[in-house]
C-alpha cells in the first residue's frame, strides 16, 4: 500500500508516494529528490551531519520518518540562500575558516541557522559552543565554527561584527 | 609579490561548493544501472566458516547476486597486501597471514566480511544480507596485543606462531644497557597508547563501474591516494590491468590516514561490478566504520631512561608491543617501527638508544597509520618520560628539557634520523612566554582558593614528515617510492592548470597550491586551477598522508614551474631580442630590463602554441612534468603547553589554556596552517581525555557508535593560542616542513602532564576520563584499558 505526502522543500512543493513507510527524511532528500547536500554521517542522530530545518526548527533528518513530515516546510543547505548568493552564515563560515573537508559543513550551517532562530543568548560564544555540540567536526574547526556563528548572529541582531 | 602569494592568509577557493551543498563526495554520485552492495559480516571475533546458505536472501525481490570468498579466490582476486617489509632481529622476514577480501574459511575479527549481497536498492541489500545464513564454529579469541603474545593464546595465522608478526629492534643494545648501568638516575615508565578510531565524518564509500564493451573499470572511492589504489588493485589484486582501470577520488570528507588503504569493500565492488554487469555502490554505515576502518595506535610500552648527575640523558631503552589486529594492513608494519622508533630521540641529544618492538596479531580490526602514525606514540612516551624524570629528580621540567636539547644541526640521532634544522630552545621560550608560565603559580593559588586543582604540562615534540626519500625507504623495506609528481600546463590563453599527485581531503590544496604559482609568476590566482584525484587526468602520484603534500607535493610543483620558467625565458628572449637569463618574470609578464619590451603571460602562451616564431629547434607547447624525490625527511617541531583545571569532586578536566609554538618552516597560508594545528590538537585532546576503542575479552567491539566512543565536540576543545617560530627547512625548495599532524602528535602528553601535575600523581592513563581522574585522586588504581 502506498502512502502519499506533500513536502515543501526549499520553497518547491513535492507530492511524493512512499512505497516503504520506513524511509527517512534524509534518504528521501538524497535519493528521491537528489538533494545530496544534506549528509549522512552516522544515521543515528549522533553526529548532526544531516541537520535540516523543518518548519524553521533544526532536526536530524536521519531520525525523522518522511511519512511523519506531511505538510512540512523543509529547508536544506541548497535552499538556504538564493542561487549564486551566500547566506550570512555561509559567508561567515568562509570568512572564519570554519571547516576543512566540508562534509559536516551543511549540517553545521543548518544547525547554526536553527540555533540563531532559537534566539537564546544570540552571540554568546559559550552558549554557541554548547548549542552546536550536536554537530561533530572531525577536522576540529570548532573555533572557526563558533566564531562564524557568533558573527552571523550579531549581524542578524543588527550589531556590528566583532 | 602577489597579494595571493606565499605567506598570505588567502581564503579558501574550494569553500563555495562546500558551503552550498555542492561538494561532490562519492556517495553523492549516481551511476546508470546502479545496484547496491551490503556485506555479510562476522559477528564473532574468531571462527571457522563451515557453510554459507544464501537461498533465503536470493529469494528476496530485487536481489541480484550473493557472492562469497571462495568465488572471489576462484576468480583469481589476490590477497590484500602490506606495503612495508620488516625484518626481525634474528633476520627472519615478517610473518604475513593471508587476507582475502571476503573470508574463505575463517574469520578473525568482528566485522570480517564473509559475503556480499548485490541488490536493486540499498535497503533491499541490507535486508537480504540479514538473511544470509553463515555457519560458524566459534574459536577462542584474543583482543589485546600483549596477551596475544603470551604462551597459550589463541592462534590467528599458521604462518605466524605465537601471533608474532615480527620482533624488530633498532639502535645499540649493548651501549644502551651500559649507559643505563652507569647512570646516576634511572627513570622507569610503563604506559599504553590507547586505541583510536579515525572517524572521518564521511564514511568510506565506493562505486564501481564496469564497461564490458571496453572491458574497462572505473572506481570512484574515498581515497587519499587514488594512484596507489589503482596500482595495488591492478598489480596485486588482479582486478583489472592498470590501463583498464581508472580510480577517481572526488571530494573526500576527511581521511586522517584511514583512507590511505585499499580495503576489502573496494576490491569486492569492482569484482562484483564485473560479475553482475551492474554499477555497484557501497557506502559504509557508521557502525561498519567503527568495525572495519583501520584503527590507530594501540601500543603497550615499558621504558627506562638514564641520566647523569647533571641531568643529562645517557641512554634510553624501550620495549613496545604493537597490536596490529587480525591482518597486516597496508602501512601497518611501518607505523610502529620506522615511523615510531626512529623518533625516540625526541628533541634531545641522547647518546644511546635501543628499542625493541614486537608486533602482534589479535582478533581486532587491523591497526594502521592514523594522524601522526607512530610519531604520537613516540612523543607520548618521550615527553611523559621527561616529565616523570623531572618530578623524580626534583628538577624544573623546562630546565631538564632545555639541558638536553639538541642545539646544533645537522644532528645524527642513534635511530636513523638526521635532523636538518630546528630551534628547540626558541620554541620553548616562545611557548612559555605566550602561556605566561611565570604567572602560573598565582593562577594555581587562585584556582585552589576556588577548590580547583590547576596543573601545567609541557610537550616538546618532533616528528618526521616529507615522507620520504625513495632510495632510503626502499632500503628500509618500503614497497614503493615516496616521491610526488606535478604537471604545469599553461594554456594558449595563459590560464594555468596544475595537475598534482597529492590529494586534498580538507587540506585546502586548491588554495595553497595556487598560491605558490601566483607567487612565482605574478599571475592572478583566479587564472589557476588545481586538478587532483583522477588517475585518467593526473600523470601519477603517491597521495596525501604523513604531512607530505607541502614538502613533497609542492616541491614537485616548484620543479615543474622551474621547467616552465626556463622555456618561458627562452621564448621571451627570442621574441624580445634579449638573453634568457636577463628576462624578468613578474606581475604576469616577461620583460627585458633596460627596454620597454615585454610580453603578457597570455602572449607567451599563444606564442608557444601557435609556434609561428619559436627559437630554433624548440618544441611547441608550454606544459612540463616533474617528479620530485625528497633528499631527507623534514622535521617539524615545537612546544605545546597545556593548562588544566581538575574538579576534585567529579574528576572532570577542563582545559583552560592551550599554547602551541610550532616550527613548520616556510608557511604558505597561515590561516590554513592554523586550521591544521587546531584540528590536530582537537584530535590529540580527544585521545588524551575522551577517546578509546574498547574490545572485550571475547573480541566483541564495545565502542560501535558515538554513544560509546566519545568524540571531541564544540564544547570540549578550548580556543588555542598559536605562535610560529620558523627555521627554514634546507631540504626542499620552499623550505617547508609540514603541519598536518603536529597537533595530534604533540598534544596528548601536554594534556596528561598537566592533569598529573594538577592531581599530584603520575599514574594516569589515556583517556583521562572523569572516572579515571577521580579514582587516581582517590588513590585507587584505575582499571586497565580494555580489560
Residue ranges of the domains in chain B? Answer: 31-139+201-254+259-292, 299-467+632-777, 483-628
Residue B11 three-state SS: coil
Q: How many residues are present in chain A?
A: 162
The residue of chain A nearest to residue B252, with distances taken between CA atoms, is A101
Instruction: Give the bridge partners for B454, in sequence order.
Output: B645
- Per-residue pLDDT, averaged over B691-718, amounts to 96
Judge whether A65 is closer than 8 Å to chain B, CB to CB. no
Q: B541 with B225: CB under 8 angstroms?
A: yes
Strands B598-600 and B411-412 come out as unpaired
List the B133-138 sheet strands across, edge first.
Answer: B106-107, B47-53, B133-138
Residues 6 or more apart whose CB falls under 8 angstroms from that of B710 comprise B686, B690, B691, B767
If contacts are CB pairs under 8 Å, which of residues 727-746 in chain B contact chain A? Answer: 743
Q: B7 with A88: CB under 8 angstroms?
A: no
The number of angstroms, rounded, from the C-alpha of B768 to the middle of its chain's C-alpha atoms is 24
Judge whether A137 is closer than 8 Å to chain B, CB to CB. yes
Q: Does domain B299-467+632-777 have CATH number 1.20.1250.20?
A: no
User: B330: which 3 cell numbers?
Assistant: 597496508
Distance CA A106, CA A35 (A): 12
Q: B703 with B196: CB under 8 angstroms?
A: no
Q: B637 with B347: CB under 8 angstroms?
A: yes
Q: How many helices (H) and strands (E) does chain B have?
A: 20, 28
| pLDDT one-digit tens code per residue, B645-674 | 999 999 999 999 999 999 999 999 999 999
Per DSSP, the residues of B291-341 read: HHS-BB--EEEEEEEEE-TTS-EEEEEEEEEEEEESS--TTTTTTTTTTTG
Q: What is the ipTM of this complex?
A: 0.96
Distance CA B206, CA B194 (A): 30
Residues 6 or more apart whose CB falls under 8 angstroms from that of B372 comprise B296, B463, B680, B741, B744, B745
User: A12: which 3 cell numbers?
Assistant: 518547491
If contacts are CB pairs under 8 Å, which of residues 676-715 in chain B contact chain A? Answer: 676, 678-683, 705-707, 711-715
Which residues from chain A sit within 8 angstroms of residue B204, using beta carbons? none
Q: Which of A47, A94, A137 sits opposite B15 (nearest CB)?
A: A94
Which residues from chain B sit within 8 angstroms of residue A97, using beta carbons? 11-12, 671-672, 674-675
How many CA atoms within 13 Å lie on the side-chain side of B655? 31
Q: How far is CA B366 from CA B43, B45, B264, B530, B688, in A?
A: 16, 12, 12, 34, 22
CATH code at B31-139+201-254+259-292: 3.90.1170.50
Strands B313-325 and B623-628 come out as unpaired
Q: B298 with B367: CB under 8 angstroms?
A: yes
pLDDT attached to residue A161: 37
Which residues from chain B sit within 8 angstroms of residue A102, using beta carbons? 14-15, 17-19, 23, 251, 253, 506
B235-B238-B241-B242 Cα dihedral, nearest 10 degrees: -40
Q: Per the CB < 8 Å rule, is B203 touching A40?
A: yes
Q: Per the CB < 8 Å rule, is A43 touching B674?
A: no
User: A101: which 3 cell numbers?
Assistant: 573537508
Which residues from chain A sit within 8 angstroms of residue B715, using beta carbons? 126, 129-130, 133
Judge whether A14 is closer than 8 Å to chain B, CB to CB. no
Q: B768 with B755: CB under 8 angstroms?
A: yes
The residue of chain A nearest to residue B25, with distances taken between CA atoms, is A103
Question: In which band, very low, low, confident or very high, does the pLDDT at B368 lie, cut at 50, 70 and 90?
Answer: very high
Burial grade of B445 (CB within 10 A; 0-12, 13-18, 19 or more): exposed
Which residues from chain B sit within 8 angstroms of residue A140, using beta carbons? 678-683, 712, 717, 743
pLDDT attached to residue B720: 87
- Per-residue pLDDT, averaged over B46-72, amounts to 98
Burial grade of B243 (CB within 10 A; 0-12, 13-18, 19 or more): exposed
Q: Which CATH superfamily is domain A88-156 in?
A: [2Fe-2S]-binding domain (1.10.150.120)
Distance from CA of B670 to the nearest CA of A (A): 11
Of chain B, the percentage scoring pLDDT greater than 90 comes to 95
- Per-residue pLDDT, averaged over B7-28, amounts to 93
Judge whether B220 is closer than 8 Å to chain A, CB to CB. no
DSSP 8-state class, residue B446: H
pLDDT attached to residue A2: 77
Distance from CA of A68 to the nearest CA of B (A): 19
Q: B336 with B222: CB under 8 angstroms?
A: no
Which residues from chain A sit within 8 angstroms of residue B254, using beta carbons? 100-101, 103, 138-139
Ranges A117-121, B219-223, B264-268: which has the least confidence: A117-121
Q: B400 with B689: CB under 8 angstroms?
A: no
- Topology (CATH) of B483-628: Aldehyde Oxidoreductase; domain 4 (3.30.365)
User: B91: which 3 cell numbers?
Assistant: 633476520
Averaged pLDDT, groups of 10, chain A, 162 residues long: 91 94 96 97 97 98 97 98 93 96 98 90 84 97 96 70 36
Q: Which of A22, A31, A103 sits opposite B202 (nearest CB)?
A: A103
Distance from CA of B347 to the nearest CA of A (A): 27
Which residues from chain B sit within 8 angstroms of residue A145, using beta carbons? 714
The residue of chain A nearest to residue B13, with distances taken between CA atoms, is A94
Q: How far is CA B95 from CA A83, B326, B715, B765, in A?
A: 57, 12, 45, 31
CATH code at A3-79: 3.10.20.30
Judge whether B169 is closer than 8 Å to chain A, CB to CB. no
Long-range contacts of B778-786 (CB under 8 A, 24+ apart): B784/B192, B785/B192, B785/B194, B785/B195, B785/B692, B785/B694, B786/B143, B786/B144, B786/B195, B786/B692, B786/B694, B786/B695, B786/B696
pLDDT attached to residue A123: 76
Domains B31-139+201-254+259-292 and B483-628 share a fold: no
Q: Per the CB < 8 Å rule, is B199 touching A138?
A: yes
Residue with cell 590529494: B503
Radius of gyration of chain B from Cα atoms? 27
The residue of chain A nearest to residue B22, with distances taken between CA atoms, is A37
Q: How many residues are present in chain B?
A: 787
Residue with cell 606462531: B161
Residue B786 has pLDDT above 50, yes or no: no
Distance CA B33, CA B31 (A): 6
Residue B512 has pLDDT above 70, yes or no: yes
Q: Which of B675, B676, B706 sits opposite A42 (nearest CB)?
A: B706
Residue B2 has pLDDT above 80, yes or no: no
The residue of chain B nearest to residue A37, with distances taken between CA atoms, is B21
Q: How far is CA B110 from CA A92, B44, B695, B701, in A?
A: 43, 5, 10, 7
If contacts are CB pairs under 8 Å, which of residues 481-510 in chain B contact chain A? Answer: 505-508
Q: Select from B11, B18, B250, B676 the residue whose CB has the most chain A CBs within 10 Å, as the one to mutate to test that interface.
A: B18
- Output the CA angle B261-B262-B265, nearest 5 degrees: 130
Radius of gyration of chain A from Cα atoms? 16
Q: B371 with B748: CB under 8 angstroms?
A: no
Which residues from chain A sit within 8 angstroms of residue B675, using beta carbons? 97, 100, 139, 141, 144
- Per-residue pLDDT, averaged over B173-202, amounts to 98
Domain borders along chain A are 3-79, 88-156
Q: B183 with B351: CB under 8 angstroms?
A: no
Q: Select from A101, A106, A136 the residue whose CB has the most chain B CBs within 10 Å, as the one to mutate to test that interface.
A: A101
| pLDDT one-digit tens code per residue, B103-149 | 999 999 999 999 999 999 999 999 999 999 999 999 999 999 999 99
Amino acid at each position: 500500500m502506498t502512502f502519499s505526502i506533500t513536502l515543501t522543500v526549499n520553497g518547491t512543493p513535492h507530492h511524493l508516494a512512499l512505497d516503504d513507510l520506513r524511509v527517512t527524511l534524509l534518504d528521501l532528500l538524497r535519493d528521491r529528490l537528489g538533494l545530496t547536500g544534506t549528509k549522512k554521517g552516522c544515521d543515528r542522530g549522533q553526529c548532526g551531519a544531516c541537520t535540516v530545518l523543518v518548519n524553521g526548527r533544526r532536526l536530524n533528518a536521519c531520525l525523522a520518518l518522511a511519512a511523519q513530515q506531511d505538510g512540512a516546510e523543509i529547508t536544506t543547505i541548497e535552499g538556504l540562500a538564493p542561487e549564486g548568493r551566500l547566506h550570512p552564515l555561509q559567508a561567515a563560515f568562509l570568512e572564519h575558516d570554519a571547516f576543512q573537508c566540508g562534509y559536516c559543513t551543511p549540517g553545521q550551517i543548518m544547525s547554526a541557522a536553527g540555533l540563531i532562530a532559537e534566539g537564546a543568548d544570540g552571540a554568546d560564544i559559550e552558549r554557541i559552543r554548547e548549542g552546536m555540540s550536536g554537530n561533530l567536526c572531525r577536522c576540529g574547526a570548532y573555533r572557526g565554527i563558533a566564531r562564524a556563528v557568533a558573527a552571523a548572529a550579531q549581524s542578524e541582531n543588527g550589531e556590528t561584527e566583532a | 609579490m602577489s597579494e595571493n602569494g606565499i605567506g598570505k592568509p588567502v581564503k579558501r577557493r574550494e569553500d563555495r561548493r562546500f558551503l552550498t551543498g555542492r561538494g561532490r563526495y562519492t556517495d553523492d554520485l549516481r551511476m546508470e544501472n546502479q545496484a547496491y552492495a551490503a556485506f555479510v559480516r562476522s559477528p564473532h571475533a574468531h571462527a571457522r566458516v563451515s557453510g554459507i546458505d544464501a537461498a533465503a536472501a536470493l529469494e528476496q525481490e530485487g536481489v541480484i547476486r550473493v557472492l562469497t570468498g571462495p568465488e572471489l579466490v576462484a576468480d583469481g582476486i589476490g590477497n590484500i597486501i602490506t606495503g612495508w617489509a620488516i625484518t626481525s632481529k634474528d633476520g627472519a622476514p615478517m610473518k604475513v597471514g593471508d587476507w582475502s577480501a571476503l573470508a574463505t574459511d575463517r574469520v578473525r575479527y568482528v566485522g570480517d566480511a564473509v559475503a556480499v549481497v548485490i541488490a536493486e536498492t540499498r535497503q533491499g541489500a541490507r535486508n537480504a544480507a540479514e538473511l544470509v545464513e553463515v555457519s560458524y564454529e566459534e574459536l577462542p579469541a584474543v583482543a589485546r596485543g600483549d596477551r596475544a603474545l603470551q604462551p597459550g593464546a589463541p592462534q590467528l595465522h599458521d604462518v605466524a606462531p605465537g601471533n608474532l608478526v615480527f620482533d624488530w629492534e633498532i639502535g645499540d643494545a649493548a651501549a644502551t644497557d651500559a649507559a643505563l648501568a652507569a647512570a646516576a638516575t634511572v627513570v622507569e615508565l610503563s604506559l599504553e597508547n590507547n586505541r583510536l578510531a579515525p572517524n572521518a565524518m564521511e564514511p568510506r564509500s565506493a562505486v564501481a563501474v564496469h564497461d564490458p564493451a571496453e572491458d574497462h573499470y572505473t572506481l570512484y572511492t574515498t581515497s587519499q591516494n587514488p594512484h596507489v589504489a589503482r596500482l595495488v588493485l591492478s598489480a596485486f589484486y588482479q582486478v583489472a590491468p592498470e590501463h583498464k582501470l581508472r580510480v577517481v577520488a572526488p571530494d573526500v570528507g576527511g581521511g586522517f590516514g584511514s583512507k590511505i588503504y585499499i580495503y576489502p569493500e573496494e576490491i569486492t565492488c569492482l569484482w562484483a561490478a564485473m560479475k553482475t554487469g551492474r554499477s555497484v555502490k557501497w557506502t559504509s554505515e557508521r557502525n561498519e566504520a567503527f568495525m572495519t576502518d583501520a584503527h590507530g595506535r594501540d601500543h603497550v610500552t615499558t621504558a627506562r631512561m638514564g641520566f647523569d648527575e647533571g641531568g643529562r640523558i645517557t641512554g634510553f631503552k624501550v620495549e613496545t608491543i604493537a597490536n596490529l589486529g587480525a591482518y597486516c594492513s597496508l602501512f601497518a608494519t611501518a607505523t610502529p617501527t620506522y615511523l615510531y622508533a626512529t623518533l625516540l630521540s625526541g628533541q634531545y641529544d641522547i647518546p644511546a638508544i635501543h628499542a625493541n618492538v614486537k608486533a602482534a596479531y589479535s582478533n581486532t580490526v587491523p591497526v594502521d597509520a592514523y594522524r601522526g602514525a607512530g610519531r604520537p606514540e613516540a612523543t607520548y612516551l618521550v615527553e611523559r618520560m621527561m616529565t616523570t624524570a623531572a618530578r623524580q629528580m626534583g628538577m624544573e621540567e623546562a630546565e631538564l628539557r632545555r639541558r638536553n636539547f639538541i642545539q646544533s644541526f645537522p644532528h645524527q640521532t642513534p635511530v636513523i634520523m638526521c635532523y636538518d634544522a630546528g630551534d628547540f630552545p626558541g620554541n620553548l621560550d616562545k611557548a612559555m612566554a605566550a602561556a605566561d608560565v611565570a604567572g602560573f603559580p598565582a593562577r594555581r593559588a587562585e584556582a585552589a582558593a576556588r577548590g580547583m586543582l590547576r596543573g601545567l604540562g609541557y610537550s616538546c615534540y618532533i616528528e618526521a614528515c616529507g615522507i620520504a626519500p625513495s632510495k632510503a625507504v626502499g632500503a628500509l623495506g618500503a614497497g614503493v617510492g615516496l616521491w610526488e609528481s606535478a604537471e604545469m600546463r599553461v594554456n594558449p590563453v595563459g590560464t594555468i592548470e596544475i595537475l598534482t599527485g597529492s590529494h586534498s581531503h580538507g587540506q585546502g590544496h586548491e588554495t595553497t597550491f595556487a598560491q605558490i604559482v601566483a607567487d612565482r609568476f605574478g599571475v592572478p590566482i583566479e587564472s589557476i586551477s588545481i586538478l587532483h584525484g583522477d588517475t585518467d587526468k593526473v600523470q601519477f602520484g603517491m597521495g596525501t598522508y604523513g604531512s607530505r603534500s607541502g614538502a613533497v607535493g609542492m616541491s614537485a610543483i616548484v620543479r615543474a614551474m622551474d621547467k616552465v620558467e626556463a622555456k618561458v625565458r627562452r621564448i621571451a628572449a627570442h621574441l624580445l631580442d634579449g638573453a634568457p637569463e636577463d628576462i624578468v618574470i613578474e606581475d604576469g609578464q616577461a620583460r627585458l630590463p633596460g627596454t620597454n619590451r615585454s610580453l603578457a603571460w597570455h602572449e607567451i602562451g599563444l606564442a608557444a602554441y601557435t609556434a609561428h616564431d619559436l627559437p630554433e629547434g624548440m618544441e611547441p607547447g608550454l606544459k612540463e612534468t616533474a617528479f620530485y624525490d625528497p633528499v631527507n625527511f623534514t622535521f617539524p617541531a615545537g612546544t605545546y603547553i597545556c593548562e588544566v583545571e581538575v574538579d576534585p569532586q567529579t574528576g572532570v578536566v577542563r582545559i583552560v589554556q592551550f599554547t602551541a609554538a610550532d616550527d613548520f618552516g616556510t608557511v604558505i597560508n597561515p590561516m590554513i596552517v592554523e586550521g591544521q594545528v587546531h584540528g590536530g590538537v582537537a584530535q590529540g585532546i580527544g585521545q588524551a581525555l575522551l577517546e578509546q576503542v574498547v574490545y572485550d575479552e571475547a573480541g566483541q567491539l564495545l565502542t560501535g557508535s558515538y554513544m560509546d566512543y566519545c568524540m571531541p565536540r564544540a564544547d570540549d576543545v578550548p580556543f588555542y593560542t598559536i605562535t610560529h617560530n620558523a627555521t627554514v627547512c634546507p631540504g626542499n625548495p620552499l623550505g617547508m616542513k609540514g603541519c598536518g599532524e603536529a597537533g595530534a602528535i604533540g598534544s596528548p602528553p601536554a594534556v596528561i602532564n598537566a592533569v598529573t601535575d594538577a592531581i599530584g600523581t603520575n599514574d594516569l592513563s589515556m583517556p583521562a576520563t572523569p572516572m579515571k581522574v577521580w579514582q587516581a585522586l582517590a588513590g585507587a588504581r584505575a582499571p586497565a584499558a580494555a580489560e
